[in-house]
């Protein structure tokens, strides 16, 4: 008769008691909230509270100087529809956004494609492409004021050198907005270059090699392989740049202060003008919340359209 030795069975530990598990989770949660509470309190005081107070202010009349803030309901919001300057500011903001966003994305993609190669001193070239992000917006405004000055600017000096007449640029109602577009594209190109360069380096080289073996030309490979794989980067830049374009202020303030004939008065600059020049804080708060809603809607539409037609998940 064959006798098999006894095999010791592994002992499975009993699961922790549900009460003990809940107690442990509650302790960890309490510890986590304790650690983040200073930041949460600061964000609540200096972030959330002003947002709620400005929402209340948008339904009141206030000059920021006297304590009386009578309730006016939706009068501030209705006022926007009858304000011709505000309607002009909307038009200028749309024009600026329509030029700035695709322009920055296109220039950034072209520069990133040129820098997406292994050549000598490539790190220096990539750093030079990003250096514009280190220049503050106010400094950019001062630089372009100097460059485009009608009497002493380098741009007009170059035009005069080739026999072309001097141009007013930022002093012209018809040219000022385009100068601001060029200035901000220059300032934001470094950001889009970094985003596109990271996306380009994530494109598998095997796909290009296989397409090259099949006889595909470089432009065809870029259009059919690289561009579709850049959809996440395109979505990020589209949303981010649009949000920043709708909030344009610093560059206008530093260069034109609304421009001749209010040619560069955009929404945020007009909002600031109403709040801190004309002391109509309630109306300014209403404009701020109207812009907030517009940004939410536009961002949502961009996400839906890009996911539907761009292939992102």
pLDDT in tens, 14-47: 555 555 544 445 678 888 888 999 999 999 999 8
Backbone region of residue 15 per phi and psi (left: phi > 0; alpha: psi in -120 to 50; beta: other values): beta
- Across 210-223, average pLDDT: 88
What is the number of structural domains in the chain?
1
Residue-wise pLDDT for 140-196, tens only, equals: 999 999 999 999 999 999 999 999 999 999 999 999 999 999 999 999 999 999 999
Residue 294 inside a domain? The answer is yes
Here the CATH number for the domain that contains residue 290 is 1.10.3720.10
The whole-angstrom separation of Cα 313 and Cα 305 is 12
- 76: CB partners within 8 A, 6+ apart: 58, 59, 61, 282, 283, 285, 286
Residue 205 inside a domain? The answer is yes
- Across 123-147, average pLDDT: 91
So what's the pLDDT on residue 259? 86
- Across 225-250, average pLDDT: 94
pTM: 0.85
So what's the pLDDT on residue 199? 95
So what's the pLDDT on residue 240? 95
Average model confidence (pLDDT) for the chain? 89
So what's the pLDDT on residue 24? 46
Phi, psi of 71 (to 5 degrees): -80, 125
Residue 160 inside a domain? The answer is yes
Domain that holds residue 148: 83-309
Residue 101 inside a domain? The answer is yes
Q: Tell me how far CA of residue 294 lies from CA of 27, 156, 242, 301, in angstroms.
A: 42, 39, 11, 11
So what's the pLDDT on residue 26? 61
Residue 299 inside a domain? The answer is yes
Cβ neighbours around 153 below 10 Å, total: 19
So what's the pLDDT on residue 12? 59
Residue 244 inside a domain? The answer is yes
Confidence of residue 249 (pLDDT cuts 50, 70, 90): very high
Residue 2 inside a domain? The answer is no
Confidence of residue 248 (pLDDT cuts 50, 70, 90): very high
DSSP 186: H
Residue 254 inside a domain? The answer is yes
């Amino acid at each position: 008769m064959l006798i098999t030795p006894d095999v010791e069975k592994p002992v499975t530990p009993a699961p922790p008691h549900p009460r003990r598990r809940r107690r442990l989770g509650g302790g960890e949660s309490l510890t986590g909230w304790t650690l983040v509470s200073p930041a949460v309190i600061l964000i609540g005081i200096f972030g959330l509270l002003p947002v709620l107070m400005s929402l209340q202010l948008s339904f009141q009349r206030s000059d920021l100087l006297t304590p009386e803030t009578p309730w006016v309901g939706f009068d501030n919001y209705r006022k926007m529809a009858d304000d011709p300057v505000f309607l002009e500011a909307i038009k200028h903001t749309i024009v600026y956004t329509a030029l700035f966003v695709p322009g920055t994305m296109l220039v950034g993609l072209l520069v990133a494609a040129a820098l997406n190669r292994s050549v000598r001193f490539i790190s220096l070239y990539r750093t030079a492409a990003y250096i514009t992000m280190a220049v503050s917006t106010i400094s950019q405004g001062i630089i372009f004021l100097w460059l485009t000055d009608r009497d002493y600017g380098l741009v007009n000096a170059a035009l005069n050198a080739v026999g072309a007449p001097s141009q007013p640029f930022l002093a012209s109602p018809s040219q000022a907005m385009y100068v601001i577009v060029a200035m901000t594209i220059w300032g934001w190109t470094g950001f889009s270059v970094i985003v596109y360069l990271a996306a380009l380096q994530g494109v598998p080289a095997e796909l290009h090699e296989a397409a090259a073996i099949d006889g595909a030309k470089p432009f065809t490979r870029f259009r059919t392989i690289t561009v579709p794989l850049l959809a996440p980067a395109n979505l990020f830049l589209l949303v981010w740049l649009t949000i920043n374009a709708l909030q344009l202020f610093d560059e206008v303030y530093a260069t034109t202060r609304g421009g001749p004939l209010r040619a560069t008065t955009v929404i945020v600059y007009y909002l600031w003008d109403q709040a801190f020049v004309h002391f109509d804080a309630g109306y300014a708060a209403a404009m701020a919340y109207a812009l907030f809603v517009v940004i939410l809607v536009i961002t949502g539409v961009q996400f839906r359209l890009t996911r539907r037609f761009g292939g992102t998940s």
